[in-house]
Structure 1
């Protein structure tokens, strides 16, 4: 039996595009208020004006340590509490390790791993005090499979899979559910960083999914009764044959 999200307050990072925007739209349609976190101030303002008062813009640069640390305190000045934290923001590096730079590696690990851990670390005391909450993280099938042409990205997602599943166990006594959704290739801006040949083959074979499919999976995770946790949900294009 599904549970209503009406009246819930959700925080979604990377909310101005892709999976984050699709999930924002999904949760809003289910009656939730969504704090939309992104670094793109102009885009957030445009979306908030279009969507209405139930979309609360929060400009945060998760790459910047001070901005990242201020995120949860700033949000709690805008809303009474946080029921749901969806850590979705991320970036991508593909190709051989020798083709990237140390700066790009630092940026990826900061956004894909460090920022997620910091955001969860910041919200957990608030949720523990309330004795309830949901934390969801966008992982990837790359967090389950050693994709040989994206060693940095896959490693960041393996790290997040470990973090989510260890935190899930720690949070059980506090009534907080922790889960991840692991999509296959999603039509989004991140695909611009794919090796050109891989992207061409994926498009030709129909091996991509729409962000709304991931949003549907997040909805399913969040609407289970409180005695049920969906620890991970893999969402793959039907024609995707790597796992």
Structure 2
């Protein structure tokens, strides 16, 4: 693997498993030193230990201003700077409009929107001073086309697109790039919990006729984190096998 990120440092939130873990693993594979952040600190530490010495695991609640500030400060103290942050942490609380509680609506909005905003704000403070940096926000195709039973999740993921573009405009003259990725159906423990019928029905809507792998999201993150995308900011990349065209 070409070391696209040799000497770079990165934070990935929600990275103890699934897409986040694939992202962290791929960034390390490209030469970065990575802080794996997760609400479950023990799982984050275990994930980092499995990746190797270029990764460290820490507990972080992305909805907490203090926790996110400590995450960024700790990464800077450990590695001497911060080049990349991937705001990946997320939750689902699916239900129909009729059955969704206000608590579950707020929980999803808070983790995705407030969590991403706190990550952007804390990381950009460091990156502005360095006059460089790449901020990558994980949205979803749900934020483009909407999913029934996911009014909270679809709204949050659409909001991340608007937030990405606004932050990109604010930070461009500081040399800081802000981009977003919208994954489609990706093979993770969460999607594999779908019924076989629902899974097959969703796959049938994808022109490539298959679900994506977490590594296929991670590879696009590596591209956006690297100098290969040096003239890209405010972009939203769909990684969906053509779903939603």
> Same-fold call, TM > 0.5?
yes
Structure 2, unmatched stretches of 5+, are none
Q: Which runs of 4+ in 1 moved over 4 A?
A: 192-197, 203-207
- Count residues in correspondence: 240
Distance 1:3 1:163 in 2: 30
TM-score normalized by the length of structure 1: 0.88
Structure 1 residue runs of 5 or longer lacking an equivalent are none
Who is 2:159 aligned against?
Answer: 159
Q: SS of the counterpart of 2:145?
A: coil
SS of the residue aligned with 1:220? helix
Q: What is aligned with 1:236?
A: 240
Rounded Cα–Cα distance in structure 1 between residues aligned with 2:167 and 2:63 = 22
Question: CA 1:64/1:225 → structure 2, altered by over 3 Å: closer, same or farther?
Answer: closer
In structure 1, the partner of 2:129 is: 129
Name the counterpart of 1:14: 14
Question: Following the alignment from structure 2 to structure 1, what is the Cα–Cα distance between the partners of residues 133 and 241?
Answer: 30
| Paired position in structure 2 for 1:180 | 180
Residue number in structure 1 paired with 2:24: 24
Q: Deviations along 1:107-156, whole A, 9 cap, x unmatched?
A: 11111100110111111111111101000000111222233442111100
Q: Is the 8 A contact 1:184 1:237 kept in 2?
A: yes
Match of 2:217 in 1: 214
Tell me, yes or no, if structure 1 residue 57 matches structure 2 residue 57. yes
Aligned to 2:35: 35
Match of 1:98 in 2: 98
**Separation in 2, partners of 1:150, 1:193:** 16
- Give yes or no for contact 1:12–1:34 (8 Å, CA) kept in 2: yes
CA deviations 1:2-55 (Å, max 9, x no partner) are: 983111001100111111111111111111101111122222222222222210
RMSD, aligned α-carbons: 2.4
Q: Distance in 2 between matches of 1:106 and 1:123?
A: 24
Q: Displacement of 1:192 after TM fit?
A: 6.6
